[in-house]
Amino acid sequence: MGISQYLKEIGRGRQGARPLSRAQAADLFGQVLDGSVSDLEIGAFCIAMRVKGETPEEMAGFLDATYERMQKIPAGAAPVIVLPSYNGARKLPVLTPLLALLLAGRGLAVLIHGAATESGRVFVPDVLAALDMQALPAIRAIGAGEVAFVPTGMLCPGLKRLLDVRRVVGVRNSSHSLVKLMNPCAGPAVVVSSYTHPEYAVSMAAVFELMGSTALLLRGTEGEVVADARRLPQMDGFIRGRRVPLEEGRKGTLTDLPDMPRGTDAQTTAAYIRDVLDGRKPVPDSMALQVEHILHLAQST
């Protein structure tokens, strides 16, 4: 079935569109990733799914297609903690590298994957460069106690092309949700994922259950997977697809706020990260709890 037939099903608007089966969604997304469809059809797919929204079955199918085309991280001696990073810093510093380094300090292998999806923000590679850390030049296994950054285009070029459509069309598409759910590892892994709106917590949880994922899901910081230092968010775990409550969370802002950097630029953020790692500033309470929950999930893989 060509993509035009799928567009007829998903392009009828929020009320009239019909959901695709998992197999149909995999076929559709595979054609998009392979570049076998026109730019016009890709644009139509992005807008149609944006209006309709993905069902968990459809997202599972999109993930199936992505995994068939992905160059995966080889299995190592330890499970890999997967930190997707695609939002960057807007009003608050991007502290995904700090979370990664705290986890590596506990002996875990940590993979950050990501790409800059829009202009005007500070992204993880900028902060990593300020910490004298560079992206991996090639796909390889990640050792215990190591943090590695892999650009999305190295994992799956077609997925990076789809992410870049946002710069042309101006709105997010299914790939921006998919990258927060995917496991790029051939061996055991814990996917750390975040949502920005409560309704995504329900749909993302359903995908983790369908995929049999081991994962941690929380409301992150401006789209990044780091627990907001100003709050104690709810955290839900998944062990091979089975939901495990980890942290109930607390409403409102914490009374004892950490000493956070005022700027979001890469150098200021890197200096703060060094201060925390060297003990000159404390680890934010919510992030310290997040680290412990991830350690628990890693022991369950």
Residues 5-23 pLDDT 10s: 999 999 887 778 899 999 9
pLDDT range class, residue 171, cuts 50, 70, 90: confident
Tokens of 172: 């997010």
Place of tokens 């994962």: 215
* Ranges in the chain annotated CATH 3.40.1030.10: 80-298
Find out if CATH 3.30.420.40 is the number for domain 80-298: no
| pLDDT of the residue at 120 | 78
Strand, coil or helix: 126: helix
* Ranges in the chain annotated CATH 1.20.970.10: 3-69
Cβ(295)–Cβ(216) below 8 Å = no
Q: Does the pLDDT at position 254 exceed 80?
A: no
Query: Phi/psi class of residue 170: alpha, beta or left (left: φ > 0; alpha: ψ in -120 to 50)?
Result: left
CATH number of 3-69: 1.20.970.10, 1.10.10.10, 1.10.1200.10, 3.30.465.10?
A: 1.20.970.10
Q: What is the distance, to the nearest Å, from the Cα of residue 47 to the centroid of all Cα atoms in its chain? A: 21
117-121, 127-131, 223-227: lowest mean pLDDT where? 117-121
Supply the pTM of this predicted model: 0.94
Amino acid at position 161, single letter = R
